Structure 1
Amino acid sequence: MPPYLTLKNNTYYFRQSIPAELRPLIGKREIKKSLGQSYPAAVRECKRYALLADNLIAEARTRLDAMPVDPLSSQGIRRTHLVTLNEVTPELETQLGNLVRASLLDTDRRKRIAGMTTEEFEEYGEHIDQAITALRKQLAMGLVEPMLESTRIFLIGRGYVPEFSESDWRKIAYVATQANLEAYEGIRKRHEGAIVGEDKAEILPSQFIAQNASKAVATTDDTISWQMLYDIWDKECERRENTRASYLAAMNLFSAFCSKNPTEVTREDALAFRDFLRDEKKLAPGTIANKLGFVGTLFATGRDSPTLVKRLPENPFADIKVKRAQRGTAGEKRQPFTDAELKMIFNSPIYTEHKRPAGGAGEACAWIPAIAYLTGMRLEEIATLTKKQFQVDAKGNHYIHILDGKNENSADRDVPIHPELIRAGLLEYVRSCHDRLFPKVKSKDEVQSASFSKWWARHLDRLGISAKSKVFHSFRHLFKDLCRNARIEDAVIDQICGHEPGTVGGKYGAGRRVDVLAEELQRVIPPVSLPKIMVK
């Protein structure tokens, strides 16, 4: 079963524990939801609740990190990102010198405030004289080695990782030696009764203090922009590039539709945007829900900021309903192509007469369906393929390395190339490409294959395949059936298709090797052979 899915008394439940440090912020120890008694439905709902729970925990983590802590406490040290220093700049020399002098003079001041006996005063005076004599000799001779380790400790103690060349190490150690001598000369004047103040010049900042004193987002005026909300969201945690692109595209689309800044957006504006996506953009219900969710998440991120929450209204995108379209309803779920429909597709003029219709993006109209037929890859994965993704293992098996996955938690995978695709000429076509296999497949949307998907729907209609259950994704359903008919185990099919393993144990390890997958895939016998695909 998927993670967080449990079964009790014939009912499935989603259960995810909340980290102990976040429980006071969320107000509970565990997130628990009843998912009913249908396993397939429970799996779908479990994944949805897992995403919601991850967002809830991430938001709580952001609020926790925004709370100031003792910079030198274990928590402060743990959440500080150490800054790497690669060279000794004049600014670093000045700041380190000021830090060394200020530290020694402050230690001396505290010692005198605490008081000394006559004996301690005399011993301390001898120590000062000996230190000055030694430091003057070291400075005169350039003997900086005794100061190297203490300088390194100074830098590390301020939250830095020094990675200097040998010459830079000598330079910074010389600065520290000089600062030590200047400090001790000031300490001796104090020992003689003179007043020596402590320089308030800028010292090397502590990263522990700089990063932990406050995590709140500062604003200079009353204007809150969408870009500001996006930047806050983007800095919460590591984001995949395709995730950033999706959120940014949704944000730009809404800001173009509605010129208001976030503080002025109303529920009516959000609902009007939903209708615009449905009626004007003609987007699918799932895509509409995603875009509304993306913009709503940016809004919610702003409301989690202590400095912005009072200036933002309640999230106008929360709980907006998106009605499902007729296509793809329960009675007409996506179905695999039949053998007769495959013959219609691969005996069309695209393959028999080398036609390349307008909207089919050149060679894409021939190769994208063929690749989907015998790899089970998603349309977007195929549409964005590049030449370097086609690789060969040590045993000579050709495969496609799929970059990233459809979801935030999915990983890269390797898909072996079926012999029928090689016979059809796929490798020859790949060798003829420069970078992208299908550069003419592009869209203004963040989904590059959006325009091709619309063309494919029109193409099926022209072929007489008009059932609403038959879409491009039907190839993926067909591929899974072909693998099952070849008696390939589900775990192998899931690995090739990029589906999450159904058990906890299935998530261990890197999966089967390419040669094992290739051997399994050779058992798949296509019901309709691919023609030799000639490049026009």
Structure 2
Amino acid sequence: MKQIAEHLYARGKSGKLYCRVRVPSKLRPAYPRKPEIIRALGTSDRREGKALLITELAAIQQEFALKERELAVKASQRAQRSVRRLTALTEQQVQAMASNWVHQSLLADDLQRSHGLDDEDFESLNDQLQQQRQELGRLLAQGKVEPIVPAMRSFLHLLGAEVDLNPEHERQVAYKLLEAVVQALDVRIDRQAGRVKPSATMAPGMNITDLKKSLSIHQGATWAEVFAKWVKHVDDRPKPTVIAAQTPWRELEHLARAAGVKYPGQVTKELVNEFVEAMARRGLATVTINERLAKVKAIYKVAVGRMLLEVNPAQDVLGRGKSAREKRRKKRLPFDQSDLNTIFGCSIYNGEHKRSQGSSKEASYWIPLLMYYTGARTEEVAGLALEDLAYDALVNCWYLNLVDRPEPDDAELFDDEEDENEDVVKAEAHGRLLKNAASIRRVPVAQELLDLGLLRYVEWVKSKGAKALFPTLKKDFHGKLSGSFS
């Protein structure tokens, strides 16, 4: 697709014109798997197309505004419906809930008395309080908490949380609340006798706002929510990085669920340590174990920093130490002569001149050669643009300019359509980022590569209208151009 002007593109031999607008990042949820809006203008005449483009752009902007309002409404509805399901309460949360029950009960009592009580109302209230104290006091003495459980769940619901506690834990929480109910009755009965006890001085635990916040963020975040927060913490996090971190995160989730732990906020240091030991028992290399533990630590660190979780249980957990033999072992061994004979003795190089029948095509010949003579990484070579091959007249030398090349705005379009001419290749260069800052460099091109016809190949690719050195390569599931070579 050839750009004519901003948002105006032509395609095919007939030069049909299209309006093409990238979807703003904030509106991507409204356009799943659709990074761009593409509208046919129904003409090949450029003057007419530019006039039609103005109208089409206005319509698209109105559509964007509508989608933005729809997303805002949905977000508001989700926020109103958001109720966390808790599988456990911390000791602090239980104490805060009980204290606030007492506090709220006494505030309601204050309000009733402030309106005034005549003798009849006063005696009726006294009888009611004495009866409740006797009944609930007996339940407390017997440890019968079942009658208080519905009230406990309702109170938690008012605080913005639903509970799914195991029977024993629910019993413990309900017992604490029953104690609080009896305590509030004792204070109200003392008031009946004229022994004034101000509500402000009673049950000074966590205030109601802090309690709601505690119940809403520290326990209910799911495994998927925590991982998504880590992914979004860095813009355009590379897909291979996401996949590499997803593996240990899922393994920890499976281990936790097997232990009865449903949420990442309930994971303990002991469980993370067991995660490390489980990897060791499976025979994983020390470096792999430590890398996976580091990824888990990083995910938890973002969740804590973004106020999604309260603590990082992996923070102080140690990985595995390397033995003396492992420290001496090289991470990667070079190809030996037998390896090189195998690679360069295949049918691509032995005179048969065969090429890959997939997307690699001519790249199947040149990538191994470029790696051999430059020492560059596979993805560095696969993502080269034609302009990355340059000539330095001062030193009379050709070189490869290895630089970051972010994804171009011109993404591939019409993947579901057949090209009118299969020999025509995409004109855009491939997008890819180098491994680190030190990877940005210039690499001299060996004379052997020139003798093998590298410059002739470059001219042939240019004649096809391409900008990439290997325009037929396509990214694999991991977002790598060089997947077939790795």
TM-score tier after normalising by the smaller chain length: 0.3 to 0.5
Which of 1 and 2 has greater Rg? 2
For CA contacts below 8 A with separation 6 or more, give which structure has more relative contact order.
1
TM-score (norm 2): 0.39
